[in-house]
Structure 1
Amino acid sequence: MPQISVIVPCYNQAQYLPEALQSVLDQSFPDWECIIVNDGSPDNTEAVAHEWCDKDCRFKYLKKENGGLSSARNAGINMAEGEWILPLDADDKIGKEYISLALDAIKYSPDIGIIYADAFLFGEKEGKWNLPEYNYRDILKSNMIYCSAFYKKEDWTIIGGYDINLIHGWEDWEFWIHLLSTTQKEVLKLPYIGFYYRIKENSMIEFLKKDNNKRQKINVYVQKKHLDIYIKEFGTYQEVLSVNDWLISCNNALSHKVYRYENFMPIKILKVLHSSFKRIFDKKWFQ
């Protein structure tokens, strides 16, 4: 039985799939399986997958009707035999030591629930992906852990897998919130570039950047689903509104004080004098 199951869903990404699978094959740690999930893809995903399964028996193939990324991941993980899961989208890649370093960390930290690493962007944009450092309260506001992080299959089972209703993105963000709030486990970031995220014009992350309405809908959905967590961490809506009203009041009072200060006659005179002396000084300096 393998220790790690890498799950690679594919829909219309057959052109990138060999790069993703090669990055798995290149791993320095050999005890893995890789499940390629064909999510009803209309391209040649099946042919590419069979080619890699013939190349190495650690690659396995699963075909299903199209159901979206969450559905495809869930199907692959349900089939997985590994204790730990590593999702990998078909157009991305992982570093050669990623699995090895993650398993080393697991040996010494049994309370870890999620392991990820530094990341690099490639494709239409290249450079280190500068993600904010993980903090539980901060991840409730926005995600800083990409999809290709390690977690236990038993934790996936406990929370019921990825939410198949999130078909427009950020399903990994909701998954991390659900997992961390349910298991109370720790998060570890490896000081190693373990993940390579492909930037392309039709990337889901680029699509969401341009669609504010979709982003708002996903935010509302996630917050409603985990309303008890948000209330516990940030208070009720009434409490948040009260704090907001207090901040507005403080801002108004501060603005009033600033206005009075700037219009206080001695201050005006000092500003004029300062400006005059500065012009005289600058003129002498440059002569």
Structure 2
Amino acid sequence: MQIIKISIIIPSYNQAMFLDETLDSVFLQTEKSWECLIIDDGSTDETAAVAHKWVIKDDRFKYFKKDNGGLSSARNYGLKLAQGTYIQLLDSDDLLIPTKFEKQLVNLNNTDICICDYRPFDNETNQDVVHRYLTPFVSPNNLVNSVILNWESKLSIPCHTALFRNDILFDNTLTFDESLDNHEDWVFWVKYFYYSQKVSFNREILAEYRIHPYSMTQDYFKMKNGFLQAIRLLEEFFKNNKQPEYARVLLKKRREILRRGREPLLIKYPKRLYRKIISKYKNVKGN
């Protein structure tokens, strides 16, 4: 039986308009030892038709349909099926540069995970969206602390920037937490780095992150509450693993979220502007 180097897991829910281009970016990889698992999470659009076109074209593409259960459910479905030595997560609207697998496999020599750089781009204009970029490169000296403290302030790891060992998931029964509406990726990365020994980096842009109106909601209060729920889950995780020092780090992150999140920015900025206008008006009136 031939060993598959990489399992690509692509959850898709009503993203047929982008899926074809995403699958093409997989097909064009210069490294040929891979399987691509397309997990249709109960789509009602043309996702199945797009997927079947690629299944017919190349038997490395495999299509599976399940009842809708959300992103984490679809990723976990794919992880159970994955046969590859390494895992590549890829959302159905994002893209890989053709040499990504080839170059990251070199970087993965004696490491557990390799992270590359990425480009956020506007779907309509193909222009860089600079304000949506945060570095994906964690501090190699203290992986867990770096991911906890810097997440969404200095750091973000889009799932398709990483290529990582599958056996770490299997040995530690590591999956995505399906109870979370958001920040499940943060919880996943914190746990993965906890179980990892060494990370490597490729500073080249080998992944592209699409920005479009159909992206998942960024509702402020929903994201904030999800972040706090994720912290509670990680606190329980480290408690069970008898790692109290990480509880103190999580407490620091919780305080940061609560401090910066008392008001949404869209509320804060108008208030600040209003205060400035009133202050100038009083100064003019006083003169």
TM-score under structure 2 normalisation?
0.74
Unaligned runs of 5+ in 2: 255-287
- Show the counterpart of 2:116: 117
Q: Deviations over 1:140-183 (max 9, x none)?
A: 0315211111122222221431111123x3222110001112x1
Give 1:185's match in structure 2, choosing from 180, 197, 213: 197
Equivalent residues of 2:29, 2:101 under 8 A apart: yes
CA distance in 1, matches of 2:54, 2:211: 24
Give 1:212's match in structure 2, choosing from 189, 202, 220: 220
Q: Would you say how many aligned residue pairs link Structure 1 and Structure 2?
A: 232
Task: Give the 3-state SS of the residue equivalent to 1:150 in structure 2.
Answer: strand
Structure with higher Rg: it is 1
- Show the counterpart of 2:134: 131
- Show the counterpart of 1:197: 209
- Show the counterpart of 2:233: 225
Q: Deviations over 1:249-268 (max 9, x none)?
A: xxxxxxxxxxxxxxxxxxxx
Equivalent residues of 1:159, 1:179 under 8 A apart: no
Equivalent residues of 1:7, 1:87 under 8 A apart: yes
- Show the counterpart of 1:269: none
Equivalent residues of 2:108, 2:200 under 8 A apart: no
2:145 is aligned with 1:146: no
Matches within 5 A, 1:1-150: 1-107=3-109, 110=110, 112-122=111-121, 123-124=123-124, 126-127=127-128, 130-132=133-135, 133-135=137-139, 136=143, 137-141=145-149, 142=151, 143-148=155-160, 149-150=162-163
Q: Alpha-carbon deviation of 1:214?
A: 1.4
CA distance in 2, matches of 1:38, 1:89: 12
Equivalent residues of 1:9, 1:36 under 8 A apart: yes
CA, structure 1 residues 48+238, in 2 after alignment: closer, same or farther (shift >3 Å)? closer
- Show the counterpart of 1:173: 186
Q: Alpha-carbon deviation of 1:78?
A: 0.9
Q: Alpha-carbon deviation of 1:53?
A: 0.3
- Show the counterpart of 2:271: none
Give the percent of matched residue pairs that are identical in Structure 1 and Structure 2: 34
CA distance in 1, matches of 2:82, 2:102: 19
- Show the counterpart of 1:267: none
Unaligned runs of 5+ in 1: 242-287
Task: Give the 3-state SS of the residue equivalent to 1:85 in structure 2.
Answer: strand
CA distance in 2, matches of 1:239, 1:9: 33
Q: Alpha-carbon deviation of 1:238?
A: 9.1
Which segments of structure 1 move beyond 4 Å, counting only runs of 4 or more?
236-241
TM-score under structure 1 normalisation?
0.74
CA RMSD of aligned residues (A): 2.4
- Show the counterpart of 2:177: 163
CA distance in 2, matches of 1:106, 1:216: 34
